[in-house]
Amino acid sequence: MEGSSPPKEWRVPRNDWDQPPWNRWSFQNVRKLLPTEDVSRGSMAVSPLEENLQSIGSVEFRTVAGGNTTVDKMLDDTFTDGFLIRHKGKIVHESYHNGMTASTPHLAQSVSKSVTSTVTGILIGKGLMDPQAPISDYLPELKETAWNGAKLQHVLDMASGVKFVEEYTDPHSDIGKTDVACGWREPPADIDSSDWPTSMWDQILGLKETDADHGSRFYYRSIETDVIAHAMQRITGKSLAQLVSDEIWTKMGAETSAYFTVDSAGYCLADGGFNATLRDFARFGQLYLDPNQTIIPKAWIDDCRKGNHGLFNDEMRETFPKGRYRNQFWIEDYTEETIICLGVFGQLIYIMPSHDIVAVKLSTFPDFIDGKKELDAIAAIKAVAQELTQ
- Whether the ω angle into residue 112 lies within 30 degrees of 0, i.e. cis, is no
> Which pLDDT does position 309 carry in this prediction?
75
What Cα–Cα distance (Å) separates residue 364 from each residue in 8, 93, 223, 344, 349? Answer: 23, 20, 23, 9, 15
* pLDDT given at position 306: 86
Say what the pTM is: 0.97
How do residues 328-378 score in pLDDT, each as one tens digit?
999 999 999 999 999 999 999 999 999 999 999 999 999 999 999 999 999
What local confidence, expressed as pLDDT, does residue 112 receive? Answer: 98
Please give the pLDDT value at position 1. 82
Using a 10 angstrom Cβ sphere, with 0-12 exposed, 13-18 middle and 19 or more buried, the burial of residue 264 is: middle
pLDDT recorded at residue 310: 83
Coil/strand/helix, residue 246: helix
Give the number of C-alpha atoms closer than 13 A to the C-alpha of residue 26, restricted to the C-beta side: 22
pLDDT digit string (tens) for 133-191?
Answer: 999 999 999 999 999 999 999 999 999 999 999 999 899 999 999 999 999 999 999 99
pLDDT, position 98 = 98
pLDDT at 205: 98
CA atoms within 13 A on the CB side of 73: 12
- Positions of the chain with pLDDT under 70: none
Report pLDDT for 48.
Answer: 96
